[in-house]
Chain A
Amino acid sequence: MNRIKAWLLAMPLFFAVAGCHVPLQSYRLSPFHPAIEVAPALPGATDPADDTIGVKDCVHPDSPICLAFIEVDDMGELFDRVELDTALSLIHRANDQAKGDEGRTDPIVITFVHGWKNNASLTNGNVKGFEIALQEVYRRFGKTHHVIGVYIGWRGDLVRGYMPVARQFSYFNREATAIRVPGATLSSALTQIATRTHENSRALAIFIGHSFGALLLERALSEATASKIAEATIHAREAAAEQDSAAVDRKRLAAELAVDSRADLVIFINPAGAAIESKQMLDFLTYNRYRYRPLGDGSTDGPPADESDRPLFVSLTSTADMATKVALPIGHALPYLGFKSKGSFRDLTQEPTKKYDLACFDPHRPKSTWELKTKEEGARPQGSYYMSTAPHMEILQSHVMLKAIGRDRMRVSSTGETIQINDPNAIAECSRDLFNKQNLNIVSTFRLADTKACFAVQERPNRCNGTPYWMMEIDPDVVPDHGTIFSGRLISFLIDTFFETPQGQPLRRMTPQLTVTPTQSKADQ
């Protein structure tokens, strides 16, 4: 009997010792499939029980949807440069095909960085989900554009699923990895993807990060993007001041190159990084009073159709995302105490050497910049930005999502407040213009693909963040939790809110331009 007991007690030890770690490996180099073809069909069109469909390499130039993989190791180095080269050549090939086709087949390049508990393996849920999302994007853009996915794989899954407790505790290790991995390798890879995409001025480069992938992406992009923005701004200013036409052309070209080397839109979905990660970029955009608006790309005559502000970065989180709302503060509690005990955080004091104000910018207000200094005004001590994600912090939110409840009321998803709508046709038609007759400052509206429920995105009243870094909490009807991101509803929301796709028309890169709001006069301040 004792022997049986001993065997039973040895069993968990066996599992622990017999390799509970997911090995560090590249999943696409052996067997060699750095880029695969994705069939342009949606789930439902094929039997999901049919698992026999094999992997097909994306070698044919006419393949409408391709998915390339770029894998980095735990230290942030590429497993093999060939994966990046393959991705870049796919984009180049798609751009070549689009030439002379009046913009109808311009590529849409979507780069996705997965989060915790995922990787680039054949059976990974995020890989499958991304494939299906690419199919959906292809369909939504009229089945004319080349859709190229670039899946950035890293070792997000450290412990195998059969050790669930140890897997949960890998949170700290993987967060550290998501902070360590971004470096010159990944930043330059992302820059090359954007630059190669913009060889075609109408092609779109979109970067998306989820969970720790958003943290990783933000760290990889922030420094490079801020540099590019600053560079483009300086060159554009110098070009405006320059007299010599050759020098003007040179400066303009330099500014254009700087613009082309960054993505058209970066989307963070349920980001699992502390708000302090986003705040430096936010401060950079705030201090320089940047706006991002479609001012025309010079290729067409006449004014652009819409001059409203557009985002360069979008950070979205579900109000029902408990992983970032509840688990992240718990996970950060111990390090927070460590920082706090060492005096690493600044508090809301007005002592000149320690003061910690929050700079605000909203181009739509008469006085576009101001500072929040006290807790009553909404300022938060530095430690607060470590204990929450950025879009969960109301003070950083630039927009709110409204959901129609009934014929004449909308509910703010993040606060639960309700707004009476005077014109019932506004909800019936889900019309931005009708909403805005009531001065609601709605920037876009959309309907859920399945229920047709009307939603709107509104500029947050009295917001502090009016920069092109949009942050908002979104309704659980659009994203229900932390992990469910590959849904028709979210894809519809993203396309309807951030892209212009008039039916029957080729996709148009809106080419918004960053502009600096003029400095206020002394009297204003």
Chain B
Amino acid sequence: MLPDSVPEIRVCPGAFPTDLTSTDCRYKLNQRTLDFVSGSATDQAVLGATVFGLGAQVIQSPSGWKRTWDGYGRRVGSRYTQAIGKGAAQYLIGLMLNDDPRFLAYRFDPGVIAKRRDAVCALTQSAPEGRSKPCISVASKNLDVLQHDGWQRFGHAWYDVITVRRSSLHGDGRRIPALSRFGAEFAGAYSGYPWYAGSENTFSKVGRRAAGAFGTAALSSFYTEYKPEITNLLGAVFRRGRQPKTDARAHQ
């Protein structure tokens, strides 16, 4: 019917196959700036500080601040300052390292795909010299013969928290330790310094705050990994206008 010779479109990792708009995978300066400003400086940061500040108000943390408007203002202000500090550190360190901190699901990770390709090569090509060369002859769809292992996905979600990729055109930059993320968590935790009393600024308390922020990053990574399952669940919950079950095979 139509020409079969469809030119292969190389899309960014995690992008929808054949997405015509996702071919430049670099984490560009304007995207990095937008992520910083929108995530750490404007309404989203204010909303986060307000909501989490309210939670802290309820459990009266830190205990030195009373449950008054003044105390609430301090809780919100400290959280907002931490968000700014965290975002600024991630922005600056990321800029210096030219990293790409966006999370990737296991099945889209170029490193994982390369390993799977090698594994399929090892299974299908017996010539030992073939293995020393990069295995490029395996079509992407044939990689599905290797099932996605549940524990590998779980492990990859953690791996993605502690490492980032170098920003690159095809999104396959090598993995480096997530210095921008670690630095950001600590910078964020230390940014609360002007707000907190001396007893709250000990290394262990700052470390605890940084660990809490790191947990949020981990949650985000797990959401990226398990998004299809979460989407399916939500889709099932919100299905509307259901018709009575009918025989799907044929008409009367």
Answer yes or no: are A and B bound together in one complex. Answer: yes
A interface, CB within 8 angstroms of B: 1, 4-5, 8-9, 11-12, 15-16, 20, 42-45, 48-49, 125, 128-129, 132-133, 136, 139-140, 142, 161-166, 275, 319-320, 322, 325-326, 329, 364-365, 376, 378, 380, 384, 387-388, 392-396, 400, 412, 415, 417, 419, 438-441, 449-452, 459, 461-462, 480-481, 484, 486-489, 492, 495-496, 501-503
A440 and B250 contact, Cβ closer than 8 Å, known pairs A136-B20, A451-B141, A501-B2: yes
B5 to chain A, nearest CB (A): 10
Quick check: A480 and B16 within 8 Å, CB to CB? yes
Within 8 A of A (CB), among B5-19: 6-10, 16-19
- In Å, the complex CA distance between A393 and B81 comes to 46
CB A131 to nearest CB in B, in angstroms, measures 9
Taken together as a complex, chains A and B put the C-alpha atoms of A380 and B243 apart, in Å, by 10
Assess A387 versus B43: contact at CB under 8 Å? Given A42-B9, A322-B231, A484-B19: no
Tell me which residues across on chain B come within 8 A of A486, comparing CB atoms: 19-21
Question: CB-nearest residue of chain A relative to B48?
Answer: A165
Question: Which residues of A sit under 8 angstroms from B250, Cβ to Cβ?
Answer: 438-441, 461
Q: Are A133 and B3 in contact (CB under 8 A)?
A: no
Smallest distance from the beta carbon of B9 to chain A beta carbons, Å? 5
For B210-222 the 0/1 string (1 means CB < 8 A from A) is 0000000000000
Beta-carbon contact of A412 and B26 below 8 Å = no
A–B complex contacts, Cβ < 8 Å, 22 sampled: A12-B45, A12-B46, A16-B42, A16-B43, A42-B20, A43-B23, A49-B24, A139-B3, A142-B3, A165-B44, A166-B43, A326-B234, A384-B241, A417-B248, A438-B250, A449-B6, A450-B8, A450-B140, A461-B246, A461-B248, A484-B19, A503-B1
Q: Nearest CB to that of B80 among chain A residues?
A: A8
Residues of A within 8 A of B17 (CB): 450-451, 487, 489
B151 at the interface (CB under 8 A from A): no
Chain B residues near A484: list those with CB within 8 A: 16, 19
Given contacts A45-B7, A49-B24, A450-B8, contact A162 B231 (CB under 8 A): no
Top 8 nearest A-B pairs by Cβ distance? A488-B18, A393-B241, A48-B24, A165-B43, A132-B20, A394-B243, A388-B240, A162-B37
Q: B77 contacts which chain A residues (CB < 8 A)?
A: 5, 8-9
Report yes or no: B38 in contact with A163, Cβ–Cβ below 8 A. yes
Contact across chains for B238 and A326 when beta carbons are under 8 A apart: yes
Closest CB-CB distance, A139 to chain B, in whole Å?
8
| Interchain CB contact under 8 A, B42 and A162 | yes
Q: Is B128 in contact with chain A by the CB < 8 A criterion?
A: no
Q: Is the CB of A378 within 8 A of B243?
A: yes
Min CB gap B28→A, angstroms: 10
Note all chain B residues with C-beta closer than 8 A to A365.
251-252
A495 adjacent to B2 (CB under 8 Å): yes
Indicate whether B148 reaches chain A with its CB closer than 8 angstroms. Answer: no
Contact at A388–B241, with CB atoms within 8 Å?
yes
Identify which of A142, A364, A396, A412 contacts B241 (C-beta below 8 A).
A396
Across-interface contacts of B38 in A (CB, < 8 A): 161-164
Q: Which residues of A contact B249 (CB under 8 A)?
A: 419, 438-440, 461
A129-B21, A489-B18 known; A12 vs B41 contact (CB < 8 Å): yes
Given contacts A162-B37, A393-B241, A451-B141, are A320 and B251 in contact (CB under 8 A)?
no
B contact residues, total (Cβ < 8 Å)? 54
Interface residue? B206 (CB, 8 A): no
Q: In the assembly, what is the distance between CA of A329 and CA of B211, in Å?
A: 37
Chain A: minimal CB distance from B241 (Å)? 4
Query: Roughly how many angstroms separate A459 CA and B248 CA in the complex, as a whole number?
Result: 10
Tell me if B247 counts as interface (CB < 8 A to partner A): yes
Closest A residue, CB atoms, query B193: A1
Partner of B235, one of A45, A320, A489: A320
Query: A165 CA to B241 CA in the complex, in Å?
Result: 30
Determine whether B34 belongs to the interface, using a CB cutoff of 8 Å to chain A: yes
Which A residues are CB-close (under 8 A) to B141? 450-452
- Is A162 in contact with B34, judged by CB distance below 8 angstroms? yes
User: Which single residue of chain B is at the shortest CB-CB distance from A126?
Assistant: B21
CB of B167 to closest CB in A, whole Å: 12
Q: How many angstroms from the CA of A438 to the CA of B251 in the assembled complex?
A: 11
Instruction: Kindly state whether residue B195 has any CB partner on chain A within 8 Å.
Output: yes
A396: B residues at CB distance < 8 A: 241
**Identity of the chain A residue whose Cβ is nearest the Cβ of B3 in the assembled complex:** A503
Is B21's CB under 8 angstroms from A125's CB?
Answer: yes
* Interfacial chain B residues near A496, Cβ < 8 Å: 1-2
Contact residue among B7, B43, B46, B194 (Cβ-Cβ distance under 8 Å from A44): B7
B20 and A487 form a contact (CB under 8 A): yes
CB-defined contacts of A162 to chain B, threshold 8 Å: 34, 37-38, 41-42
- Whether a CB of chain A sits under 8 angstroms from the CB of B244 is yes
Q: In the complex, what residues of A have CB within 8 A of residue B194's CB?
A: 1, 4-5
Indicate if B29 sits at the interface (CB-CB under 8 A).
no
- Chain A residues with Cβ below 8 Å from B243 are 378, 394-395, 462
Q: Known pairs A320-B235, A322-B234. 10 more at Cβ < 8 A?
A: A12-B45, A49-B26, A132-B20, A163-B42, A365-B251, A384-B241, A394-B241, A441-B251, A461-B248, A487-B18
Which residues of the other chain, B, contact A441 by a CB distance below 8 angstroms?
Answer: 250-251
Cα–Cα distance between A326 and B7 once the two chains are bound (Å): 36
Contacts of B238 in A (CB 8 A): 325-326, 329
B231 near A387 with CB under 8 A, answer no
**A400 contacts which chain B residues (CB < 8 A)?**
248
Complex contact B21–A163 (CB within 8 A): no
